[in-house]
Amino acid sequence: MKARIGIVSLTLACCFTASSYAQLGRLKDLKEKATKLSVQKKGPLKAEEIGKLEYNVPKLQIGESDLALKISLPKPPKYYAMRWCASSSCDYDHGEMFFLVELDGEILAHFDHTFWNDDYETKTEFQLLLLPKTDGNIKEDGVFPGLPAVTKRGEVYMPMLDMVYGPLLKEGTHKLRVRMFNPQNSPKDMTYELGNPEYFNAWDPVIDQIVEFEVTEAGRKKMKDAASLEKPVTRKGGEWTAMEELLLSKSEKYPEGKCLRLVSSSDWTINRNAFGIILNRTSYVQIIFENKWGCRVTYNKVTEQYDGSSYGKPKMGNMHGTIKTPPHMLVELTNDKPIPCEKANE
């Protein structure tokens, strides 16, 4: 009996050992394949993997036509996510690309775009609107029929309008550098800083191309004359007099510019506590604001505290339109809209 048990135990041990070695061998093979694949996936892009940009017109000149770019990728966006996948899995039905646009060496715009379904998995051509012919006829879906747009909120053409309407973009030839990155390949040994060019230089781009466009005073005048992005209506006098006086006084809170005029965009909303006691009242207003970059209409919230018998002085929220970070970039697309200063007092 003991002999049988010994034979069985020895047989099991041999089988287990053989099975274990076979498993270890397979694991070793898989590890070597994974290592080779990892090295291949995380290496720099080859020339045939890099995308390119094409113009919609032979010459990009402001005020003559819509200025747009066709983005042509050798592979769908998902390919680049899978190529550099740094997560446990990147096999999703959507993914992002990061865009960085510089104007004459200064950052103009940066944004993420999420590609979904076919746009992510199979399509290789997209479009980006740089600047409309006029802001009164903005083609949100772009100018290349059938191609998906990578912007929906004017991430590029809004700051471009801001520069065209303002005094800093001089007549002549200017350069836009357009770069497209996959987040899976972002630099891991550096801190993300928008103003640090070394961060983006260390990031392997899917597209990196210089686009030249021409600014003429005739083209700028056409665009300014046709500008109709914002048509605020001045509401003067009455309870708004104190508000305008507050803003026109150029308080120390907004040292970089001045308010040209105030426009009401909503009625007062009275706010009460749980007992029905009035706390304050608020209104959302449009302000036409001017600083060294030009003029824009910015939206803001105004609050007047209630002391039991009357409302106090109006107080503004943060003034988005006073600053740009970096220099050429609108702070908040939702709140800020460019307007020619010549039309600020119409």
> What's the pLDDT band for 147 if we cut at 50, 70, 90?
very high
Is 113 in contact with 97 (CB distance < 8 Å)? yes
CATH class name, domain 47-226 = mainly beta
Cα separation, 172 vs 48, in Å, equals 34
CB distance 271 to 301 below 8 Å? no
* pLDDT per residue as tens digits for the range 256-297: 667 777 776 678 899 999 999 999 999 888 778 787 778 888
Contact 175, 210 (CB under 8 A): yes
Average pLDDT, integer, range 156-169: 90
What's residue 132's pLDDT? Answer: 94
Three-point CA angle 148, 153, 156, nearest 5°: 85
Structure-model confidence comparison of residues 135 and 249, the more confident one:
135
Nearest to 296 by CA among 140, 169, 154, 159: 159
Residue 262 has what pLDDT? 75
- Per-residue b or e along 82-96, where b marks 16 or more CB atoms closer than 10 Å to that residue's CB: bbbbeeeebeeeebb
Q: What is the pLDDT of residue 90?
A: 81
d(CA 339, CA 136): 12
Q: Write a three-state SS string for the chain.
A: CHHHHHHHHHHHHHHHHHHHHHHHHHHHHHHHHHHHHHHHHHCCCCHHHCCEEEECCCCCECCCCCEEEEEECCCCHHHHHHHCCCCCCCCCCEEEEEEEEEECCEEEEEEEEEEEHHHHHCCCEEEEEEECCCCCCCCCCCCCCCCCECCCCCCCHHHHHHHHHCCCCCCEEEEEEEEEECHHHCCCCCCCCCCCHHHHHCCCCCEEEEEEEEECHHHHHHHHHHCCCCCCCCCCCHHHHHHHHHHHCCCCCCCCEEEEEEEECCCCEEEECCCCCEEEEEEEEEEEEEECCEEEEEEEEEEEEECCCCECCCEECCCHHHCCCCCCCCCCCCCEEEECHHHCCC
Q: What is the pLDDT of residues 69-128, one digit of tens each?
A: 999 999 999 999 999 987 777 888 999 999 999 999 988 888 999 999 999 999 999 999
- pLDDT value for 128: 95
Surface-to-core class of residue 128, CB atoms within 10 Å of its CB (0-12 exposed, 13-18 middle, 19+ buried): buried
Q: Do residues 291 and 250 make contact, with C-beta atoms less than 8 angstroms apart? A: no
The answer to whether residue 22 scores a pLDDT higher than 80 is: no
Over residues 307-327, the pLDDT tens digits come to: 999 998 887 776 544 444 544
pLDDT score at 233: 57
Q: Report percent pLDDT > 90 for the chain.
A: 43
At 76 the pLDDT is 97
Contacts for 187-194 with beta carbons within 8 Å, 24 or more apart? 188/86, 194/107, 194/110, 194/325, 194/326
Confidence (pTM):
0.76
Average pLDDT taken over every residue of the chain: 80
**% of the chain with per-residue pLDDT over 70:** 73
- Every domain of the chain and the residues it spans: 47-226, 238-343
What pLDDT, on a 0 to 100 scale, did the predictor assign at position 139?
Answer: 83
Q: Which residue has the higher pLDDT, 310 or 13?
A: 310
Lowest mean pLDDT among 21-25, 155-159, 184-188: 21-25
CA 19/CA 119 separation, integer angstroms: 46
